[in-house]
Amino acid sequence: MAKPRVDFYILQSTNLRNRQEFACKLTEKAYRLGRKVFIRTSSPEETRQLDNLLWTFRAGSFIPHAVSPEDRNNDLQAPVLLGTQCEGTEHLDLLINLSTQMPSKYSRFDRIAELIDQNDPVRESGRQHYRQYQTEGCELTTHKL
């Protein structure tokens, strides 16, 4: 099985909202390309925030999505799922990781987007994730925004 490509997006802010808005933009782009996406959050509260933001982040945008069954009983057929656990989901094209935790079973994804900001715990977890993916032989790319 091929290793996923991992893109690290380095944002200059320390604001979670900026990371969430960037996640929405990446999600919208992937959705328009016909990709299935899982957005992994750190908490049920963050999942609720992102659920609301996906409806409102840009006027005129429409991204059909559902909260994953681990967080709430919903439709797994939605092109975009979000929640705290991606272990129970089927093979998806893109994992957008907003969590500071390393995703387990990440090899089920073709691509992974790690969204890193200047908040110390987020930055440190990003460094740890980078080393882990590198050890696993994943293709890594860094984008400074």
Q: Which domain holds residue 78?
A: 5-144
* Predicted TM-score (pTM) of this structure: 0.90
CATH, residue 43: 3.40.50.10110
**Tens of pLDDT along the chain (145 residues)?**
678 999 999 999 998 899 999 999 999 999 999 999 999 999 999 999 999 999 888 887 778 888 876 544 445 578 899 999 876 556 679 999 999 999 888 888 999 999 999 999 999 999 999 999 999 999 999 999 8
Q: Is the dihedral of CA 82, 21, 122, 136 positive or negative?
A: positive
Contacts of 64 (CB under 8 A, 6+ apart): 31, 78, 79, 80
Domain count, the chain: 1
How confident is the model at residue 126, as a pLDDT?
A: 96
First to last CA, the chain: 31
Q: What is the DSSP string of the chain?
A: -PPPEEEEEE-S---HHHHHHHHHHHHHHHHHTT--EEEE-SSHHHHHHHHHHHHHSSTT----EEE-TTTS---TTSSEEEES--TTS---SEEEE-SSSPPTTGGGSSEEEEEE-S-HHHHHHHHHHHHHHHHTT-EEEEEE-
